[in-house]
Structure 1
Amino acid sequence: MAKFLHIADIHLGFDRYDSRERTRDFFLALQDVLQRYAVEERVDFVLIAGDLFEHRNIQPATLNQAQLCLQDLQKAGIPVLAIEGNHDNRPYGTRTSWLKYLSEWGLLKLLEPGDVAAGEPFYFPWDDNTRRGGYVDLACGVRVVGANWYGAAAPKAIEQIATAIEALPPGPEHTVLMFHHGLEGQIARYSGALRYSDLLPLKMVGVDYLALGHIHKQYSVENWVFNPGSLAANNIEEASFQRGAYCVEIDDQGVQADLKTDYYQRPVVRLSLTLRGQESQEDLIEAAEKTVQAAIATGDLDPTAGPIVELRIEGQVGFDRLDLDIRQLQATLQQQSGALIFLLKYNVEAVAYSTPVSELSNRMQIEETIFTDLLAAHRDYKGRCTTLAKGLMDLKDRQLTGAVEPDLYQFIQAMLEDSPGKA
């Protein structure tokens, strides 16, 4: 029986939120997973099915993180087999990458097809001297085969890979193939995904375990296709995805893949607030603070854990939406929640009042309705819109009958002082 760990989409060097602590989260997740489920479980080997790094060009600190994790496995005598993903693959026309660098230094084996155009076979066995090869036969009874990142050309590449695997000399009883691509139907808004039928040629030539990467959500199909998802959520939307690392046992009875999710991950909390259009700025701020406080009270949000928090404010407001100081509110909520990163999604519309007007209404009734609607849409006047609308009608009549400006100003002052609920 062989035992191995399958991970993908680690994304070391993740920098989307411009936070050193958040970048470090991805290193801590990898380090914890490898210690718990590779070193402590004493697996025979580890698979990295693409996207070890977030970028092709990485910072020294990111390279150091990768080296530290891989050195821990090296000390434990656990080989690491890897392929490039779309994030860390070498640019077209170049001969090296940071994964290639790690491979040349003996920290992993980068398995990739040969240069057929230069006369090399599509697959040739791994050579420890040249640090090159497309597949490796392990003493635990497993042949591991690698692949490049193919993008839109993946369906055609699968046919080529299947033909090349079928032509390989006899080897271990079990075959594992690493392939960085996604399967259709797993997540929304993903174009270019493979159909399950596209993968079947690989099964027909004896691939027992297809180790995928690329999609950041865990899934498996027919106990043959496995994708562990990313180790950490790369954005708020991904927080709802199940993800982890597959601890796999393979023997004559088949494949037993157990998804491991108990490891270091920063908590992500998503909150929402819907407004009805009657709220002032002060009401909105108070409601937002209460939403955060309620999440803390129920235990859904732990300020001591330094979570990532998103609050979505939607609906309608009774004031100009641009009048609210979003940055100040965000800073206040971040302090109250103890969040490392607080994302405030402010997606509201100002209330548009439009009272139905009867076809039988006369001009004066229509004008009064318009005044009422305009006043009702203002945060300071909506509580006394009816009285003020009548006053504006009276003001208009006074102006049309020739009242002088001092008298009009005096009338306005009296109207505002006398109207119920005045500010």
Structure 2
Amino acid sequence: MVQETRILHTADTHLGYRQYHSEVRRQDFFKAFETVIKDAIDMQVDAVVHAGDLFDSRNPTLEDLLETMNVLSRLKVANIPFFGIVGNHESKQSTQWLDLFEEMGLAGRLGKAPKMVGDVAIYGIDSVPKSKIPLYDYSGFEIPESLPENCRKLLVMHQIMPPSPYPDWDCAEVIENLPFKADAILLGDYHEYEKIKVGESWVTYSGSTERNSASEKEPRSYSIITLSGEGLEISRRTIPTRNFLFITAKVYGEEKPFEQIFSAVNEHLEEIPESVVFLDVSGDSGSVLSFSEIEEYLLSKGALVAKVKDARIKEGIPEEVIKVAFHDPDRAVAEELRRMSLNDGGLIVDEVIRSPDVPRSRVDEETENRLLGLIEAIDFKDPDFMIKIPVSHVSPVDPSSSVSSIESSGSVSSIESSGSVSPIDSVSTVSPSSPSSSAIIKEPEELKPPGAAEEIENPKPAGVTEFTAAVAAKSETLMPPVRIQRSESLNESLNKIFEKHDVVPESPETAGSIAGSVETAVEDEISKVTPDSGVITAPQSSSPVSFSDNSQTGFSAISPPESIPSPEILKENSEADADEKPVDGKLSEEKPVGVPDKATKTVKQSHRKGKEKSAVPRQYNLGDYL
């Protein structure tokens, strides 16, 4: 003779849920759970099975844990086992709260190994995310040989399945793939009571023990599963819970709308106390209502929670505006990624973060490994490898400006001088907007003596014809127009110019001769640039060159010196050099007296800004950096 076994099936208790921010509602959820446990003890059932979502959160408060342990301890005293699975609300990454209760002897966690209740074997499957349902592994279920010959088998799950109206998992598929015959599947996650038969197996939802939303209008319940020689029987038991009261008030015209609403509320004065009240206002939309005033009136009548909804038809709103459309979230994500125009690295990061196969704890490691693989696959030595930069619009530049400009597509660089006095303020190369292909040399206005030439034009091309044409065509890829390979002659000429310029001219005639020599020397060096090769020769030196971005101005420039020495220092240097001046009248090429020897003595950074600053500018090796 088969022994009769009775199992209480409950689910979705959502302990700790502070609904509507009310502490009273949090206590209501515990009271409903206590009612279920009390009935189990009174009926002396053989076991209590919980089908997931014991807690509303994966991080319940200490108060919630203590109260739950207190309720479960009553079952332990009555020698009634409590078995459960993990729901989607309470699921943690590793150790679950059920594991804690199992260590304390208050509960048992169901899995692929059966828990025996008499001659009934109970299995369990924790909540499976929707994206992982097709990948679920049905292997691993244990079927001990010691099971009784007529052993009944139950499977507990927490999924949306038929008879739910919006199933994520097919019951027939589960029953077909199980390695054992399931007499019944006890479900959780759907908060309404349901019962259907799929093949030879019963599939049932017990419903939630408390209302989690206003849409759950049916009474709350749990189920009793009775297994005997006559078969399997499922019965439903309802639970007394707090009243949810729904009131409808219609407003006609614009006169005295509050009186009409309060009149509808007064018809339910006996039901309002200690109830959760939902008031729907319908009718004419002409008057403006204050929801807070209506809610205060409901609370004054004893309502625990008051919620007001304005369901009146709004005039002047097109019907299509209030239509609701649902789109595929995966398609929306794909469209957003396409709009963002991510590169390969960005797509890899997005794929790793949204992949259901990568645990959260391994997102950083997996992303790093994938990106390293991408970088290793790139051949940076490939001559065709380039980085494309967005093109900026070419703006015309005044060729008479004291700062030279080369308009390039999306790239601007500036070479700044940190030396002392320089006789050359800037060298202006050809601008695309300039009508002539010439280079202009100018002197600083502070050092330009009276009578000196204003500017001298170099009739020869500047050597950037191809680069200028590319800029004019708004090329999308930035390519360097020229490259400095060696420039010994340029550096030697500049050294001579700088040494000659250490002596301050004392007369207009002397000043004119020095200015002429400066202009002639630099003109000769610039004229060496050929338009075909686009190569500027420059001397090799170990002096640093600093580059700075000047994207707002849109040109490359050789900046003027940071400071100009005072006339007193220039005069002292000129007098010292005058004593050593050769008879033939040529300027001495020796180092000025006022310049310290850098090879034997290091000049501190702070000294460079004072009177000890040399009047001779530093030499720059442009070829090492461009």
Q: Which structure exhibits the higher relative contact order, with contacts defined as CA atoms closer than 8 Å and separated by 6 or more residues?
A: 1
Q: Give 1:265's aligned residue.
A: 241
Deviation of 1:60 after TM superposition, in Å, equals 1.2
Deviation of 1:142 after TM superposition, in Å, equals 0.9
Tell me which amino acid in the other structure corresponds to 1:69.
V
Deviation of 1:11 after TM superposition, in Å, equals 0.2
Report the secondary structure of 1:295's partner residue: coil
Tell me which amino acid in the other structure corresponds to 1:23.
R
Q: 1:186 aligns with which of 160, 164, 167?
A: 164
Q: Which has the higher Rg, Structure 1 or Structure 2?
A: 2
Unpaired segments ≥5 residues, structure 1: 113-122, 124-133, 354-423
Distance of aligned partners of 1:167 and 1:76 in 2 relative to their CA distance in 1, 3 Å threshold: closer
Tell me which amino acid in the other structure corresponds to 1:252.
G
TM-score, with structure 1 as normaliser? 0.68
Unpaired segments ≥5 residues, structure 2: 318-626
Counterpart contact for 1:142–1:175, Cα < 8 Å:
yes
Q: How does 1:302-317 map to 2 (within 5 A)?
A: 302-304=271-273, 306-317=274-285
Q: 1:35 aligns with which of 35, 38, 54?
A: 38
Q: 1:274 aligns with which of 250, 256, 263?
A: 250
Distance of aligned partners of 1:350 and 1:257 in 2 relative to their CA distance in 1, 3 Å threshold: closer
Distance of aligned partners of 1:351 and 1:302 in 2 relative to their CA distance in 1, 3 Å threshold: same
Q: Give 2:260's aligned residue.
A: 287
Q: Give 1:46's aligned residue.
A: 48
Query: C-alpha separation between the residues in 2 aligned to 1:182 and 1:226?
Result: 11
Distance of aligned partners of 1:333 and 1:229 in 2 relative to their CA distance in 1, 3 Å threshold: same
Q: Which has the higher helix share?
A: 1
Q: Give 1:84's aligned residue.
A: 86
Q: Give 2:124's aligned residue.
A: 146
Q: Give 1:2's aligned residue.
A: 5
Query: C-alpha separation between the residues in 1 aligned to 2:190 and 2:295?
Result: 31
Deviation of 1:251 after TM superposition, in Å, equals 1.6
Tell me which amino acid in the other structure corresponds to 1:209.
A
Structure 2 residue 251 is the aligned partner of structure 1 residue 249: no
Distance of aligned partners of 1:181 and 1:157 in 2 relative to their CA distance in 1, 3 Å threshold: farther
Q: How does 1:13-412 map to 2 (within 5 A)?
A: 13-36=16-39, 38-91=40-93, 95-112=94-111, 123=112, 134-138=113-117, 140-153=118-131, 155-156=133-134, 160-161=137-138, 163-165=139-141, 168-169=144-145, 171-172=147-148, 173-184=151-162, 186-187=164-165, 190=166, 193-201=168-176, 205-222=180-197, 224-238=202-216, 240-261=217-238, 263-276=239-252, 278-280=253-255, 282=256, 284-296=257-269, 302-304=271-273, 306-319=274-287, 321=288, 324-336=289-301, 338-349=302-313, 351=315
Query: C-alpha separation between the residues in 1 aligned to 2:82 and 2:171?
Result: 28
Deviation of 1:157 after TM superposition, in Å, equals 6.0
1:123-166 Cα shifts (integer Å, max 9, x gaps): 3xxxxxxxxxx32123x1111111121121564466x33x4447
1:321-353 Cα shifts (integer Å, max 9, x gaps): 3xx2211211112222x2111111123345559
Query: C-alpha separation between the residues in 1 aligned to 2:204 and 2:194?
Result: 6
What root-mean-square deviation, in Å, do the aligned CA atoms of Structure 1 and Structure 2 show?
2.3
Report the secondary structure of 1:290's partner residue: helix
Query: C-alpha separation between the residues in 2 aligned to 1:31 and 1:72?
Result: 10
Query: C-alpha separation between the residues in 2 aligned to 1:203 and 1:275?
Result: 58
Report the secondary structure of 1:224's partner residue: strand
Counterpart contact for 1:218–1:242, Cα < 8 Å:
no
Deviation of 1:302 after TM superposition, in Å, equals 2.1
TM-score, with structure 2 as normaliser? 0.47
1:373-411 Cα shifts (integer Å, max 9, x gaps): xxxxxxxxxxxxxxxxxxxxxxxxxxxxxxxxxxxxxxx
Deviation of 1:184 after TM superposition, in Å, equals 4.2
Distance of aligned partners of 1:216 and 1:157 in 2 relative to their CA distance in 1, 3 Å threshold: farther
Deviation of 1:295 after TM superposition, in Å, equals 2.7
Query: C-alpha separation between the residues in 1 aligned to 2:140 and 2:146?
Result: 13
Tell me which amino acid in the other structure corresponds to 1:345.
K
Tell me which amino acid in the other structure corresponds to 2:291.
I
Identity %: 25
Tell me which amino acid in the other structure corresponds to 1:179.
M
